[in-house]
Amino acid sequence: MTRLIDLASVCKSKNAGPFDLTIDVIFSSRALFDRVAATGILNAALFATLYKVRESDVLFTPYPAANAFKATLPRLHPAGSIDDRDVYGAQQHAPILYVDIPD
């Protein structure tokens, strides 16, 4: 098993507007992307579990053109409202880093 933190070239989160968070995982080569895609580990259900939202609220899109996966889901709180902790949404990626990818 290898964790995503050891495989990905980019793993990041950011606002997609003030109500949604978008998380991107990018690999350095098509071979690596294909290997991760073939495991089927990255999917809407995984993001729903990690971010405690309904699976139907996750827009999960593989993007082979950029060797990337993208998941967009509701923010915990709207950007800049009381209780929001991350106005830019730039530090919400950590749960993905420790996902195991079977060899």
Partner 1 sequence: MKEIRMLSVTPILGYGFPEASLEAGMLLKPHAIGADGGSTDPGPFYLGDGKAFCSRMAMKRDLRLMLIAGLKADVPVIVSTSGGAGGEPHLQMMSEIVHEIANEENLTFKLALIHSEQDPTFIKKRVSEGRVRAASKQPALTNNAIEAAVRIVGLMGPEPYIRALDEGAQVILAGRSTDPAPWAAVAIRGGIPPAQAWYSGKMLECGSEPAVPKKEGCLLARVTPSYVELEPTNSVQKCTVLSVANFALHENPSPIHHLEPGGMLDTENCKFEQVTERVVRVSGMIWKPSDAYTIKIEGVRRTGYKAITICATRDPVLIRGIAAYLKNAQDIIAEKTTAFGVKANEYQLSIRSYGRDGVMGNREPLQDQVPHEMCFVAEVIAKTQDEANAVMGIVRLTLLHSDFPGRLCKEGNMAIPFSPSDIELGAAYEFNVYHIVEADDPYGLFPIEYQIVGEKR
8-state DSSP, 75: -
| Contacts of residue 92, Cβ cutoff 8 Å, sequence gap at least 6 | 13, 21, 23, 51, 86
| Residue 24 lies near partner 1 (rule: CB under 8 A) | yes
Q: Which residue, chain included where needed, has tokens 């991107």?
A: 24
8-state DSSP, 65: G
| Residue 50 lies near partner 1 (rule: CB under 8 A) | yes
Report CA torsion sign: 42, 23, 94, 78: negative
Count of residues interacting with partner 1 (CB under 8 A): 45
Between 19 and 103, whose beta carbon lies closer to partner 1?
A: 19
Residues 57-96, interacting with partner 1 (CB under 8 A): 57, 59, 61, 63, 65-68, 70, 72, 74, 76-88, 91-92, 94-95
Radius of gyration of the chain (CA): 14
- Interface contacts to partner 1, rule CB under 8 A: 9-10, 12, 14-20, 22, 24, 26, 28, 50-52, 57, 59, 61, 63, 65-68, 70, 72, 74, 76-88, 91-92, 94-95
